[in-house]
Amino acid sequence: MLTQAGHLDAQDTLEDQVKAAIVRCLRMPIGPSDIQDDMLLFGDGLGLDSIDALEIVLELQRSFAVVVTDEQMGQRVLRSVRTIVDFIEASRRAGPAGA
């Protein structure tokens, strides 16, 4: 969870960290715990839009050092917290780009 200063606690799961990053970057009026791992982020889920998608892509790059390279990848990765976490974990297993 976020500490009072707004920082991530090192004991948080990656899912918790992603939820906190989404809430923080979109300034959402809900808490990270209100987002379920498999909840759709767009449409009937959280109801996010394309501007929100851009904000999340930038936040993922800043906070987790992963890059969503195109729209098709974004549609695949940004479906839910779980798909974002899977993407981050796969990126970390693959190692740094260009290595």
pTM metric for this prediction = 0.85
Q: Residue 95's pLDDT band (boundaries 50, 70, 90)?
A: confident
Confirm whether 72 is domain-assigned: yes
Parent domain of 54:
14-94
Given this model, what pLDDT does residue 96 score? 65
Confirm whether 42 is domain-assigned: yes
Q: Are 54 and 32 in contact (CB under 8 A)?
A: no
Confirm whether 6 is domain-assigned: no
Confirm whether 9 is domain-assigned: no
Given this model, what pLDDT does residue 10 score? 56
Confirm whether 99 is domain-assigned: no
CATH number at residue 56: 1.10.1200.10
Among the listed residues 7, 31, 6, 5, the one whose alpha carbon sits nearest the alpha carbon of residue 19? 31
Given this model, what pLDDT does residue 97 score? 56
Confirm whether 3 is domain-assigned: no
- pLDDT tens digit sequence for 43-94: 999 999 999 999 999 999 999 999 999 999 999 999 999 999 999 999 999 9
Q: How many domains does the chain have?
A: 1
Confirm whether 26 is domain-assigned: yes
Q: Are 21 and 59 in contact (CB under 8 A)?
A: yes
